[in-house]
A and B are shown apart, each in its own frame.
Chain A
Amino acid sequence: GAVVSQHPSWVICKSGTSVKIECRSLDFQATTMFWYRQFPKQSLMLMATSNEGSKATYEQGVEKDKFLINHASLTLSTLTVTSAHPEDSSFYICSASKLDRDQPQHFGDGTRLSIL
């Protein structure tokens, strides 16, 4: 199997707080993990590619200081939304691929973030 666990599944917090989302590959090692954001009725938007032991690669238009990514081990990547505001409310999804080339991405269940 290829199970990706993502926590928490939903978060409601006040504007200005920081929120950390964890993504774990449970039964395989993932040198690369991906973070996506999806607004209602819209397609997946890749935010960044997270590489174990190195800095994340952010997509154009994504603020590095706003969305902090850490990939501390081959099974764990975290996304921290700093000083969150209502416009950051969205569905955040992580994915991970096995080490071999051409392997598909396996997605976590996603985190629904609501900023009041």
Chain B
Amino acid sequence: QKEVEQNSGPLSVPEGAIASLNCTYSDRGSQSFFWYRQYSGKSPELIMSIYSNGDKEDGRFTAQLNKASQYVSLLIRDSQPSDSATYLCAVNRSGGYQKVTFGTGTKLQVIP
């Protein structure tokens, strides 16, 4: 089992729809969780950080964390073509200082 798993996609959604990106992790003691966006040919850009169970909203983005299910998700409301990118889930493993593991990413395509 991979430490951080994401569906590679591509996930295609029409413009204006909600895109739902999912991530599961194996280390039950993981403490902090991050979502990054990476455009083709560019480096990753931090979108959201989440540390406790529940929802965290920032503009059109909502991160959801469920530690019991070892599941973190990112919702993008009113998806725009400019949201088309690869989204990386990152998890800070327990017992380590800044030992972050990245998923392989989900490619999102927003269709105009």
Chain A contacts to B: CB under 8 angstroms: 6, 32, 43-44, 46, 91, 93, 95, 97, 101-110
Contact = CB atoms under 8 A, between A and B. Distances in A.
Contacts of A46: 102
B32 interface: yes
Given A32-B98, A107-B44, A108-B43, A102 B104 contact: no
Contacts of B45: 107
A44 B88 contact: yes
Interface in B92-109: 92, 97-98, 100, 102-105
Interface of B: 31-32, 34, 36, 41-46, 49, 51, 88, 90, 92, 97-98, 100, 102-105
**Highest count of chain A CB atoms <10 Å: which of B44, B46, B105:** B44
B32 A106 contact: no
Nearest to B45: A107
Contacts of A106: 46
**Highest count of chain A CB atoms <10 Å: which of B36, B43, B45, B88:** B43
Given A43-B105, A44-B88, A105 B43 contact: no
Contacts, number: 46
A91 B38 CA distance: 13
Contacts of B42: 109-110
B88 A102 contact: no
B100 A105 contact: yes
B46 A104 contact: yes
A46 B88 CA distance: 14
A104 B44 contact: no
Given A43-B104, A43-B105, A44-B88, A103 B98 contact: yes
Given A102-B51, A110-B42, A110-B43, A44 B34 contact: no
Contact of A105 (B31, B41, B90, B105): B90
Contacts of A105: 34, 46, 90, 98, 100
